[in-house]
Chain A
Amino acid sequence: MGLRFDLLSLFTTLALLSTTTTTVLSDVVLSKVDRRIDLTSQIVRVTSTLKVENAGPGPVSEILLTFPEVQAKDLAYLTAALNEGKGKVRNSGSSLPINVVNPEGMPPSLTFHSISLPKALAEGDVLTIDVLAVFTHALRPFPEEITQADIQLVLFQDTAHYLSPYAVNVQSLTVRLPKARIETYTKLENTNVHGSDIKYGPYQNLPPFSYAPVAVHFETNQPFAVAQELVREIEISHWGNVQVTEHYNIVHGGAKSKGEFSRLDFQARPHLRGASAFKNLVAKLPPRAHSIYYRDEIGNISTSNVWGDPKKTELLIEPRYPLFGGWRTTFTIGYGLPLQDFLFESKGKRFINFSFGSPINDLVIDNIIVKVVLPEGSNDIFTSTPFPAKQGQETKISHLDVVGRPVVVLEKTNVVPEHNQYFQVYYRFNSLSMLREPFMLISGFFFIFVACIVYMHVDMSISKSSASYLAKMQWDEVRATIQQVQSVINQCLYTHEKLEASLRDLSRTGDVQACKTARKTADSLLKEYSKELKPLLSFLQSSPQATQILPKVEELVAKERELQERLIAKHSTIVDCYEKKIGGRELENRVASQQQKVVVLKQEVEDLLDYIEEI
């Protein structure tokens, strides 16, 4: 087994090392080391509490952590924090900066990480540091292939002695396993088993680079969900939405399935025939998520469920088939989030504050690509991530775009739930740019209207001299003239109304003078209208196309003139009566006959207008 060989060669180099380079880094002594390895899920989490003591002369500002190469390539996440007494809760805000270093004289099979202390440790001082290291793919299925009925066994290897360039005074190691069978484990001195915990140690006064390989072989039925690739697209719309779309390519990373798969057995006894498979995944989405969907290339997958409460939205998704070792599935989930929960403004710059990793619980992501699609017109883009990630930029053309939207692309390999930290993308955006989309729609509609106007105005006929074309042109002219006649008549009728109104005013107020002025203006207006009518009528008389309609038009004009005369006569009569102070019955007698005629004529004029309108 290759791994065994690696460990063996490492062990021999370490044996050499411990004799040659011990003096180089011996200023620091680890007075106490507590290690807890959590193997209850597919992700291996190693929590170490180091009590560091500066024994040598001179201050120490850096502490080195050592990982063998076989582990270092699986290392996904490493964080260290000062432990300031038991009362204080460790939070990520106080984590110490860590970077990879290559001290001289060390073998290449070891990887060193250096923790920078906030202030140098003076001689004789003691400090406690909590270190969390997270490894992926560190549990190797053994055997590598199982059938549907087999249980899944995995092998984990590490060292019982804390691998460190410093001497360690007292140390112990606890390995926590899932509550299931333990196949075998390496027995050293001081090894105890309590339930599902294996305890190694305490061991005392070990020199630097002590190494005691241990292996644990145990059963685990935790979901080994590994996303080989996850593309997350976060699209911001300033109209009030953050749209998240996640494309998953998930594989079961445990022991490969061999032999045939029986759906009947799986349905009947899922715990015996398919214990290593997983049926569903749970995603913890942010609160107030809406428009959630779950689909793949062939459409919606109906086996999903959502629960919401004010703190989170929980989405349970069930792939189309249970996943056994080595089986894979691809799907897409998407959801919308309210803008005000994630977009903020400070010092003239807007920024989105969003979580980096996948919302799915206990998922290992081999390769994640996070794309933040900013609105069109954003500039001065700056990205801040809590851990190093490869950054790039591209553009995306989406709805109603002209030049495309700027996209920030972040890429990272080996991502675990510990990476679900907030990152920020800062950018500048002019609020007026929001009006681009409505402006595009408005100009689109306006273009249609302009096209209609142009179509109606442009003469599209090919032959400008044909008889039918000329007839049409003449008919158009006749129609236009008739419309003008109509509008003039309508204006006349409006003037009549005004005259009548002045009469009503007279009967109310008795102001003869005002009535007379109204009469004067009406007279002049009517005179103008009749002048306007003259050329129109003469045109109609000369036009051959108008022969049919002409009698009606002439009748209309004649009736209108008669109506006009009657009305004026009635007006003068009433004004006369008022001047001579003839009132009551006398006045009514004089006007009654005129009034009748006016009403009849008015009706006739209106009928004629309607008739002409319909032509």
Chain B
Amino acid sequence: MTTAVITGIGVAAPNGAGTENFWAATLRGESGIGPIRRFDTRGYPARLGGEIDDFDPAEHLPRRLLPQTDRMTQLALTASAWALADSGVAPGTYDPGETGVAMAGAFGGFEYGQRELENLWCSGPERVSVYMSFAWFYAVNTGQLSIRHVLRGPAGVVVGDQAGGLDAVAQARRNIRKGARLMLSGGFDSSFCPYGWVARISDGTLSTDEDPRTAYLPFDLRARGQVPGEGGAVLVVEEAAAARRRGTRIYGEIAGYAATFDAAARYGGERGLGRAVEAALADAGVTAREVGVVFADGSGRPADDRAEAETIAAVFGPQGVPVTVPKTMTGRMSSGGAPVDLAGALLAMRDGLIPPTVNVRTVAPGARLDLVTGVPRPWQPGPALVLARGRGGFNSAMVLRPGTAAPNRTGAASVTGREAPTRSGGKRHEADDTVGPGGDHA
């Protein structure tokens, strides 16, 4: 089957706009969580968020795009340009018809939406923007990215809360398998406006802690909820043979994926994350033993954390695999969270360093996890598992493999570790199909 690889990364996250800014901050353990400054949070029970401070859309986008785009679209457009530049794909490499976009969004452009609702109700219908019809709807980023980069192939948009970010990247792989050569994929959310905030408060998952260092502590004894963040990531997904022909760096392969849904309470309420993990590993042809790291969903709510920890321990054994939640430095970015984790996993492979779960000190009793806390941990890069769950029962799991496998490889053998990667953080690891580090962490 056609292999889909990732050749470019563009991240806009609260602890760093720009992939290398984000990654350097992440390895330093720097968090972007703090008191929200973009609107007045007085009177709200939760006042912390992960805002992207060092981003001025006017520096990155043509002036005409600014009045027609919500902030999350401005972030997506900018990150998509970074991702394409990172991939080094030259214009004209592919026919526009064989290039496409598959993005996730959970909330749409709701800051824009709130402003236009205000215009409508305070000033009348004739004051509603001519751009409103598309600026707030969930499909806007796929449309804007396709126009900006002239991508005329398959187009897709999925909404699945936090899990949607993985579902979109899986859709990109599906389209590569159906014949596309290059897909931009990922997810973004912001809605850092009063309406977006009130909606999140109504969800009941926000931490009311006012200390940025202790508000979001997934798997910790002190866990008491989550902190939202804004941002996301765009990945350049390419057909492996085409990517190799143009001799580009290959961060990794989208090796496996699965999505499941928790049983409704009336049907017993059984959680489905374990099935998603097992199916994604089977899809990748990777055994649990070979997996080198798990980027956990890390909801920050004790019941969810317990369920996730149990799932991970059941599949990998107690303390059986390093687990990390770098989202502790960004907050939960809705559909942007999982694509940023995919980016983090690929960069962890490049640099041989697993980013830490900051602020967490005491893993809750019973959670038999080898949680990477404090500082980055060197590892021998191997397959990485990224997990994401969405409110209501969504579970998605994706397996990434470093480098690329030969297209005619059969069976479930793991990559053949012929050369260990560098472990010096920051130095680039040029992966291709001749370099496939083994995943023998166990």
Co-complex (A, B): no
